[in-house]
Amino acid sequence: MNALVQGAGRGIGLALVAELVARGGGQVVATQRGESPALATLRDQAGDSVKLIQLELTCEASIAQAASRVREHVSCSRRSGQPSSCCRSLTA
């Protein structure tokens, strides 16, 4: 299962990323407002299964850049090559 966790730099978001990594089997895209040493350590331990993205929700440019980075890391295509219904907004 792939997951996107917003606010993963600390607290519940960080704990959720840790749980998803422990369960394994998918990609975790974790957003953070600033640098989080704890999240960086978790990413280093998890390897390629965790991708970190900077995201400031009060800044439209940051949102657009984060959306672009999510597209780079998450495959939204079915076998037909068409975006799945859950990903159409990312590919529009």
CATH pick for 3-91 out of 3.40.50.150, 3.40.190.10, 3.30.365.10, 3.40.50.720: 3.40.50.720
Q: What is the pLDDT of residues 53-63, one digit of tens each?
A: 999 999 999 99
**Residue 15 φ/ψ, nearest 5 degrees:** -65, -40
Q: What is the mean pLDDT of each run of 10 residues along the chain (92 residues)?
A: 91 95 90 93 92 94 92 62 52 46
Q: What is the pLDDT of residues 27-37, one digit of tens each?
A: 899 999 999 99
Entry field: residues in the chain: 92
| Global confidence as pTM | 0.76
Domain ranges in the chain are: 3-91
32-70 b/e with 16+ CB inside 10 Å = b?
Answer: bbeebeebeebbeebeeebbbbebeeeeeebeeebeebb
β-partners of residue 3 are: 28
